């Protein structure tokens, strides 16, 4: 036997025999077209005890299924059954979407950067909300599969919704097992060729149990000693107030509905200094046992829980797209049973910078400059409590 030849072959044999690294399964399929004929696809990421569906329209999570305490798989985010449910209605198109250029509100639809004033669309009373009426939630993103999921990319030109600079942004959705449980990691990257302001988040509406049941019994914890109080139009007053002794204190876990204000929750919590591997928030459903933990490098968490029921769903009508070409054929009517805006049966966990930061010098800066890429990571870890 030629021992020299055998020894040289051993590394190759070991490499061949070693099991392949585990990776999620990623598939894609057509999901429909916008009014202007633009095609929209859905990517499905599947791994042990998790399935995530993401549409290229809005880089949007339309379904996120994990097991309950009995092993039953069902989606924990609210969503429409088809693209028409998102296109037909106005602001509800935010459901599950990647938000930009600027998540949350900008007071008066205006801000000043380096001595120049910029005007953005007033689509929320006197304010700009989630980047304007043609924000990232209304764009069709370019998708590329990865070993663990999919990366959605978008170029926002200079002047888009009034914001300066040519902005290149990508959102990576990756599914992996962490601590023996399924997790969805969302990574944001962006670059600009001119100074601008940015604020990104994912706007999924969560319900860890029955989507027709309010979330007031869910147990919530938020690691924040302070929050940013707001005025009548939901713009921060500029202060960071203590949560101690009021309805915003979730430092000790308790039911969401225990002290919920009449207006519900739609506020930014100032997260305590934290490490990326420490959960800044956690919510559990006592009935299904589902639990979601939030890990992020962002300074704020917008926790939204509406208290009042949603208005009646409008009758079905032809879908419209604000970017559609004149004379384009309308899309089919949406599912009449789909409520585009949740009532009391959902909460959001929007990791982000603070609302109206461009107009609030004391808040963490949201300015992005050329040559200084933006990078941020948020992870949702799903477990079961029996």
How many angstroms separate the Cα of 107 from the Cα of each of 104, 128, 201? 10, 7, 19
Catalytic residue among 203, 267, 282, 353: 203
- Token look-up 């429409």 returns 80
- Taking the mean position of all CA atoms in its chain, how far away is CA 111? 24
Q: In this model, does residue 19 exceed pLDDT 50?
A: no
Tell me whether residue 51 is one of the annotated catalytic residues: no
- What pLDDT does residue 342 have? 53
Tell me whether residue 203 is one of the annotated catalytic residues: yes
Residue 79, φ and ψ in degrees, nearest 5: -165, 165
Cis peptide before 331 (omega within 30 of 0): no
pLDDT digits (tens, 9 = 90+) for 162-182: 999 999 999 999 999 998 999
**Reduced to 3 states, what is the DSSP secondary structure of residue 367?**
strand
Q: pTM to 2 decimals?
A: 0.87
What is d(CA 8, CA 349) in angstroms, rounded to the nearest whole number?
54
- What pLDDT does residue 343 have? 61
Percent of the chain with pLDDT over 90: 77
pLDDT digits (tens, 9 = 90+) for 342-379: 567 899 999 999 999 999 999 999 999 999 999 999 99
Catalytic residue among 51, 130, 267, 350: 350
Strand 348-352 relative to strand 281-284, pairing: unpaired
Q: In this model, does residue 323 exceed pLDDT 50?
A: no
In sequence order, the 6+-apart residues with CB closer than 8 A to the CB of 23 are 147, 148
Q: In this model, does residue 223 exceed pLDDT 90?
A: yes
Q: In this model, does residue 329 exceed pLDDT 60?
A: no
Domains of the chain: 23-384 (2.70.98.10)
Q: In this model, does residue 336 exceed pLDDT 50?
A: no
- What pLDDT does residue 179 have? 84
């Amino acid at each position: 036997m030629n021992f020299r030849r055998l020894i040289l072959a051993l590394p190759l044999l070991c490499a061949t025999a070693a099991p392949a690294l585990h990776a999620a399964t990623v598939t894609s399929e057509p999901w429909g077209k916008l009014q202007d004929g633009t095609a929209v696809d859905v990517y499905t990421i599947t791994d042990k005890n998790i399935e995530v569906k993401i549409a290229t329209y809005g880089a949007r999570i339309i379904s996120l299924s994990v097991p309950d305490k009995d092993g039953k798989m069902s989606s924990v985010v609210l969503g429409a059954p088809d693209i028409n449910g998102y296109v037909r209605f106005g602001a509800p198109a935010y459901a599950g979407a990647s938000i930009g250029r600027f998540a949350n509100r900008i007071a008066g639809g205006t801000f000043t950067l380096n001595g120049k004033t910029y005007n953005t669309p007033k689509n929320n009373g006197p304010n700009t909300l989630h980047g304007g009426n043609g924000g990232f939630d209304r764009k069709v993103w370019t998708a590329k599969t990865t070993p663990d999921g999919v990366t959605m990319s978008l170029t926002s030109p200079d002047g888009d919704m009034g914001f300066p600079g040519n902005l290149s942004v990508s959102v990576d959705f990756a599914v992996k097992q962490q601590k023996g449980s399924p997790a969805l990691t969302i990574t944001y990257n962006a670059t600009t060729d001119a100074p601008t302001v940015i604020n990104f988040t994912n706007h999924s509406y969560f319900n860890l149990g029955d989507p027709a049941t309010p979330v007031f019994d869910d147990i919530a914890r938020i690691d924040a000693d302070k929050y940013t109080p707001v005025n009548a139009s939901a713009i921060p007053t500029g202060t960071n107030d203590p949560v101690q002794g009021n309805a915003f204190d979730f430092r000790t876990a308790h039911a969401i509905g225990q002290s919920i204000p009449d207006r519900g929750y739609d506020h930014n919590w100032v997260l305590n200094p934290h490490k990326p591997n420490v959960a800044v928030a956690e919510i559990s459903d006592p009935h299904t046992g589902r639990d979601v933990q939030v890990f992020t490098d962002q300074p704020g968490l917008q926790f939204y829980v509406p208290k009042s029921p949603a208005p009646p769903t409008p009758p079905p009508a032809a879908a419209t797209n604000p970017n559609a070409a004149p004379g384009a054929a309308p899309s089919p009517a949406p599912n009449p049973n789909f409520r585009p805006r949740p009532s009391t049966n959902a909460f959001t966990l929007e990791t982000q910078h603070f609302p109206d930061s461009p107009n609030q010098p004391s808040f963490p800066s949201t300015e992005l400059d050329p040559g200084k890429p933006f990078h941020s990571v948020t992870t949702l870890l799903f477990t079961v409590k029996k």
